[in-house]
Amino acid sequence: MTEKTVTVTVDGIPHVCETGAVLGDILSRDGSLAMPCGGHGRCGKCRVRASGEISPPDEKETKLLSGAELEAGVRLACRVTVLGDCAVSIPQEKGSARIRTEGELPSFEMNPAFSRAGAAVDIGTTTLAARLYGPDGSILAEDTRLNPESAFGADVITRMEAALAGHAGEIAASVRSAVNDMIHTLTREAGLPEGSPDAAVITGNTVMLYLLTGTDTEPLTHAPFHAPRLFGETVRAAELELDSLDPEAAVYFPPCAGAFVGADMLCSLLSSDICRKSGTRLLTDIGTNGEMILKHGDKLYAASTAAGPAFEGAGISMGMGGRDGAVDRVRVTDGVIEAHVIGDAEPVGICGSGLVDAVAALLETELLDETGYLEDDPAVILDPVCLTQDDIRAVQLAKSAIHAGLRTLLVTAGADCGDVKELGVAGGFGSYLDIRNAGAIGLLPEELLPKVRVLGNAALAGASMLLLSRDLREECEAEAARVELVSLAANPTFAAEYMERMMF
DSSP 3-state assignment of 387?
Answer: strand
Write the DSSP assignment of 346-378 as a string of letters. ---EE-HHHHHHHHHHHHHTTSB-TT--BSSSS
pLDDT given for residue 1 in this prediction: 47
> 3-state SS string over 192-250?
CCCCCCCEEEEEECHHHHHHHHCCCCHHHHCCCCCCCCCEEEEEEHHHHCCCCCCCCCE
Peptide bond into 91 cis (omega under 30): no
pLDDT digits over 388-402, tens only? 999 999 999 999 999
pLDDT digits over 258-302, tens only? 999 999 999 999 999 999 999 999 999 987 778 999 999 999 999
Contact (CB, 8 A) for 137 and 110: yes
pLDDT given for residue 223 in this prediction: 87
CATH 3.10.20.30 location in the chain: 5-89
Q: What is the dihedral of CA 58, 62, 64, 65, to 10 degrees?
A: 120
The one-letter code for the residue type at 359 is V
Q: What architecture does CATH give domain 5-89?
A: Roll (3.10)
pLDDT digits over 442-453, tens only? 999 999 999 999
CATH 3.30.420.480 location in the chain: 118-274
Q: Which of 470, 478, 457 is nearest to 108 (CA)?
A: 470
CA distances from 367 to 117, 322, 377, 439 (A): 55, 25, 10, 18
pLDDT digits over 341-384, tens only? 998 889 999 999 999 999 999 999 999 999 999 989 999 999 99
Radius of gyration of the chain (CA): 23
Residue, of 100 and 125, whose pLDDT is higher: 125
Full-model pTM: 0.82
DSSP 3-state assignment of 311?
Answer: helix
> Does domain 118-274 bear CATH number 3.30.420.480?
yes
CA distances from 178 to 75, 212, 234, 313, 314 (A): 28, 11, 20, 21, 21
Arithmetic mean of pLDDT over the chain: 91
Side-chain-facing half-sphere of 500: CA atoms under 13 Å: 12
Within 13-77, where are the H helices? 23-28, 59-64, 67-71
For 176, residues 6+ apart whose C-beta sits below 8 A from its C-beta are 212, 240, 241, 242
Alpha-carbon span 341 to 276, nearest angstrom: 40
Q: How confident is the model at residue 321 (pLDDT cuts 50, 70, 90)?
A: confident
